[in-house]
Amino acid sequence: MKILGISGSPRKEGNTSILVKRALGICREKGAEIEFISLADKEILYCDNCNACVPKNNFLCPKNDDVPEILEKMKSADALIIGSPAYFSSVSGKLKSLFDRTLPLRRNNFQLSGKVGGAIAVGGSRNGGQEFVLRDIQNWMLLHEMIIVGDKKTAHFGGIAVGRKMGDVINDEEGMKTVENLAVMVFETTSRMRGNEE
């Protein structure tokens, strides 16, 4: 089982990275193969609706940046764990740009269909819009026909933490627990689905 974690923060070693890596750590302990991508050092140009990613062009996007490599990793994963900082109660612009660039995967026979998805959000304020951020990520997953899970036992919408400065989330015990519980749910759901396929 392959689980890909993506941090949508432009801060490489920031709170989102810490949280996504924690979730991946739990999945690895349970036996998953994991991979982590930080968008901080990736070039992601935004989709400008040029409409080149159509069947006659093999759904290829003409932009030359780091997105194709990320899309390949998404396609080969069984589950995705995606995290973002709250930026004005939405996902970061960088993550939104990546989401828009996944259009070819949807157009070309829903290549993320059936993959399990979990979402993580961190904000500097306790009520800084983290639930809206999760909803942004989950909406993207729904439009790709992915299967969304929340956090087991703490049983809400996914991983939610509070932290403003780099590393703050380490002290948010309750938030960290939701991230760990999200990872358990992602792992268990993916296992169950793979079992059913065999």
Ligand X SMILES: Cc1cc2nc3c(=O)[nH]c(=O)nc-3n(C[C@H](O)[C@H](O)[C@H](O)COP(=O)(O)O)c2cc1C
Residues near ligand X (CB under 6 A) = 9, 11, 14-16, 85-89, 122-125, 128-129, 163-164, 166
Least distance CB 127 / ligand X (angstroms):
8
Q: Give the C-alpha separation, 81 to 3, whole Å.
A: 7
Structure tokens, 96: 């939104």
* Element at 38 (helix H, strand E): strand 33-38
Structure tokens, 89: 């109660």
Least distance CB 156 / ligand X (angstroms):
17
Least distance CB 87 / ligand X (angstroms):
4
85 vs 104, which CB is nearer to ligand X?
85
The vertex-148 CA angle with 97 and 121, nearest 5°, equals 55
Q: Strands (DSSP E) along 103-197, which ranges?
A: 116-123, 147-148, 159-162
150 vs 175, which CB is nearer to ligand X?
175
Which pairs count as long-range contacts for 46-55, CB under 8 Å and 24+ apart, including other chains? 46/97, 46/100, 46/101, 47/97, 47/100, 47/101, 47/103, 53/103, 53/104, 53/107, 53/108, 54/107, 55/108
130 vs 190, which CB is nearer to ligand X?
130
Least distance CB 136 / ligand X (angstroms):
12
Among the listed residues 28, 21, 23, the one whose alpha carbon sits nearest the alpha carbon of residue 1: 28
153 vs 156, which CB is nearer to ligand X?
156
Least distance CB 129 / ligand X (angstroms):
5
- The residue of the chain with the least Cβ separation from ligand X equals 128
15 vs 181, which CB is nearer to ligand X?
15
Structure tokens, 94: 């960088």
